[in-house]
């Protein structure tokens, strides 16, 4: 196998990746499809951490907009990420991938608490580490949690999983003439007001020079191609 450009990556998934054909909740078949893609990355010997959102179950911002107190809504969203993480862990282990689930909110019956050195050791031993419950604090999104954990764990890149093959100057679904950016600087993304990640998450990456690769995770084999250094998606650096 050719030299792999990354030693350690953090994969950021949306909760919608577990929806499958459903309108709400978790489709075990979709979870298995996601797990197969992660397994293909793991087989390259790249160390993998995963953060998954909860848009398929409950969004803190949406709950707050509907009248739930913001901090309470955010904690509900954090718990929903734990549900998704458990489903993903189950699917990965069915495929023979050794995993550890760590959460920012302590719940020892189902997961380890997040401990940076322990997470690093798990990855060094070849385990996929799933990181749930965001930062453990309200008012922060899972994007911010992913950026924070990627920095703490010395990841080489954030792989931002989306349904489109990179960043465009406008919605490529609505506008066929939309221009795709193969590469962007952080400042270009800000100037063009491109929604790569939420502001706090993006600022963390920019301030600490952590690259973000935005790519179509749902095209089979793309995650593996990304870690092997193929020119797919858009990289922001």
What is the tens place of the pLDDT at every residue in 87-143?
999 999 999 999 999 999 999 999 999 999 999 999 999 999 999 999 999 999 999
Can you give the pLDDT at residue 177? 86
Q: Which two tokens stand for residue 142?
A: 């899972």
Can you give the pLDDT at residue 143? 94
Can you give the pLDDT at residue 174? 84
Can you give the pLDDT at residue 189? 84
CA dihedral of residues 98, 99, 100, 101 (deg, nearest 10): -160
Can you give the pLDDT at residue 175? 86
Give the CATH architecture of domain 8-236. Answer: 3-Layer(aba) Sandwich (3.40)
CA dihedral of residues 59, 189, 85, 163 (deg, nearest 10): 90
Is the pLDDT reported for residue 23 higher than 70? yes
Query: Per-residue confidence at 33, pLDDT binned at 50, 70, 90?
Result: very high
Domain ranges of the chain: 8-236
Query: Per-residue confidence at 2, pLDDT binned at 50, 70, 90?
Result: low
Q: What Cα–Cα distance (Å) separates residue 91 from each residue in 18, 35, 54, 88?
A: 11, 6, 17, 5
Query: Would you list the DSSP string of 74-126?
Result: HHHHHHHHHHHHHHHHHHHHHTT--EEEEESS--TTT-EEP-HHHHHHHHHTT
pTM, two decimals, is: 0.94
Q: Which two tokens stand for residue 159?
A: 């792989």
As a whole number of angstroms, the distance between CA 212 and CA 233 comes to 10
Is the pLDDT reported for residue 1 higher than 80? no
Q: Which residues pair with 4 in a beta bridge?
A: none
**Residue closest to 148 by CA, chosen among 92, 110, 140:** 140
Q: Which two tokens stand for residue 119?
A: 């997470």
Can you give the pLDDT at residue 22? 93
What confidence tens digit (pLDDT) does each residue in 61-87 have? 899 999 999 999 999 999 999 999 999
Average pLDDT over every residue of 174-187: 88
Pairing mode of beta strands 234-236, 212-216: antiparallel
Can you give the pLDDT at residue 73? 95
The mean pLDDT value of the chain amounts to 93
């Amino acid at each position: 196998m050719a030299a792999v450009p990354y030693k350690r990556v953090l994969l950021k998934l949306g909760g919608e990746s577990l929806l499958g054909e459903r309108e709400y909740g978790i489709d075990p078949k979709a979870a298995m499809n996601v797990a197969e893609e992660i397994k293909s990355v793991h087989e390259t010997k790249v160390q993998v951490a995963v953060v998954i959102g909860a848009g398929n179950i409950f969004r803190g911002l949406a709950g707050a907009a509907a009248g739930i107190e913001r901090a309470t809504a955010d904690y509900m969203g954090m718990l929903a990420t734990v549900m998704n993480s458990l489903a993903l862990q189950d699917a990965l282990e069915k495929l023979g991938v050794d995993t550890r689930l760590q959460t920012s909110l302590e719940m020892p019956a189902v997961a380890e608490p997040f401990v940076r050195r322990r997470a690093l050791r798990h990855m060094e031993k070849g385990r996929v580490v799933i990181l749930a419950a965001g930062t453990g604090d309200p008012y922060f999104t899972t994007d911010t949690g992913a950026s924070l954990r990627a920095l703490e764990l010395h990841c080489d890149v954030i792989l931002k999983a989306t349904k489109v093959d990179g960043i465009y100057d406008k919605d490529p679904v609505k506008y066929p003439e939309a221009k795709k950016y193969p590469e962007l600087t952080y400042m270009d993304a800000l100037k063009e007001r491109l929604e790569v990640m939420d502001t706090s998450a993006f600022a963390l990456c920019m301030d600490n020079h952590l690259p973000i690769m935005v790519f179509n995770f749902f095209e089979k084999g793309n995650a593996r191609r990304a870690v092997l250094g193929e020119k797919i998606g858009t990289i922001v650096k």
